[in-house]
Amino acid sequence: MIDFHTAQGGTVGIADEPIATLRGALRGALLLPGDDGYDVSRTLWNGMIDRRPAAIVRAAGAADVIQAVKFAQEHQLLMAVKGGGHNIAGKAACDGGLMIDLSAMKSVRVDPVARLARVEPGALLSDFDRETQAFGLSTPTGINSTTGIAGLTLGGGFGWQSRKRGLTIDNLTGVDVVLASGEFVQASETHNADLFWAVRGGSGNFGVVTSFEYRLHPLGPEVLAGLIVYPLDQAKQVFEGYRRFTADAGDEMTAWMVLRKAPPLPFLPADVHGKEVLVIAFCWIGELGRGEQLASPLRSWGTPAGEHVGPMPFAAWQTAFDPLLQPGARNYWKSHDFKALNAEVERIVCSATAGLPSDECEIFIGQLGGQINRVKAGDTAYPHRDAEFAVNVHTRWREAGGDRECIDWARALFDALAPHATGGVYVNFMSEDETQRVASGAYGANYARLAALKARFDPGNLFSQNQNIRPQA
């Protein structure tokens, strides 16, 4: 007998026989506490999350997902779904429930003639990049190679290519989905179009996606990219230059800004390590020679402390931030969307940077716009087609004793920035305690349609372990 938590908040005991039947139906594994692989499966990127499911289905394919969803539905179990496990809110694991771990489903199949890629939900961006770049192809994804493709896509997905080619979901052509009923369906613009609309930004609310199909574009394999580091005391002229540069930049150029303490990067002098800095991270995905000319202003806004810039394989650039984002640290995020970065935003973030609560905390400013904003807000569940920047307050530290200081710092900065923001937020940047922002902040005018579709596809809210959209007829 195994005791499970139910979706309604109670408990139910399930006898050994149904558990054995489920185990026998799987091509993958059913893991219980104490089994080899159980702790690996339940562990997530954010070290603040430490949940212990009653059982884990480590799925080997769509058939295993169907069996697991049917089992959870039959017994009304609390259920969580893990792809890459990178999501900040840590919703991929649940205490006492059934966890579906998709991380073994990592296949990436590229059709270089049709320029399409079929990708399973356990694949990381590194898996995707290796396969697609072998053919000089890619599609817009994120900026950290350890991110899971599934969670990134279901929330929207943006990175270095998005100003030219849109969000990840704008390049999604179809999905395979296991619904709450256990039914396996396919969705695209022409088939189950309502479901396809909902999964493009609706997070994991509508089912378990067991396969994604993406449209691919020529890229690289080399791009012009790099980091230019300025001391924080040059922030005024750097911000002024950044505002001018991003206003005029073409779609093939993306420049992000990061404020933090300088890590011990080899191209920085030792006396800069640990000092507050402002980092310009950029990527140009056009013709290399022209990019070198267009990128030159980035180093002219003051006196850089150091830089690492040049042509490099795109797949290598995607790993540039991996050393700063290794799993296991404690992480808490707060985020806003902006239409512009005014002088008051500059003052607020620079003041906060002067008082960072840990050496690993940072504020990053991601440049959006371009092709992202040429899609109508109602064309996908992701609605933020007017945002030009996303500002993410990323607190990161090692010991539980630092929780209060780091979280309070993030919340205070978030509150100070709020009057200058749009009120919108990218759902993948929302922490666990932000359920009140789901309707108005994450989805806005699209929420009513999402809630109605939730009532159609998941009326019992089986898929609740996410930034939850509640079913509403």
**Cα separation, 164 vs 172, whole angstroms:** 15
Q: How confident is the model at residue 473 (pLDDT cuts 50, 70, 90)?
A: confident
Tokens of 221: 């394999």
For the stretch 142-186, pLDDT in tens is 999 999 999 999 999 999 999 999 999 999 999 999 999 999 999
- Mean pLDDT value of segment 88-94: 96
> Contact 201/155 with Cβ under 8 angstroms?
yes
Tokens of 260: 């933090």
3-state secondary structure of 390: strand
For the stretch 261-277, pLDDT in tens is 999 999 999 999 999 99
Please check the confidence at residue 246 and state whether its pLDDT lies above 90. Answer: yes
- Mean pLDDT value of segment 124-138: 98
For the stretch 17-74, pLDDT in tens is 999 999 999 999 999 999 999 999 999 999 999 999 999 999 999 999 999 999 999 9
Please check the confidence at residue 382 and state whether its pLDDT lies above 90. Answer: yes
CB atoms within 10 A of CB 301: 22
For the stretch 280-329, pLDDT in tens is 999 999 999 899 999 999 999 999 999 999 999 999 999 999 998 999 99
pLDDT at 451: 98
| Angle formed by the axes of helices 16-25 and 62-75, nearest 10° | 160
**Cα separation, 71 vs 24, whole angstroms:** 13
For the stretch 405-416, pLDDT in tens is 999 999 999 999
Distances (CA, A) of 391 to 253, 276, 414: 18, 18, 9
> Contact 146/152 with Cβ under 8 angstroms?
no
pLDDT at 26: 98
- Mean pLDDT value of segment 187-196: 98
pLDDT at 460: 96
- Mean pLDDT value of segment 251-270: 97
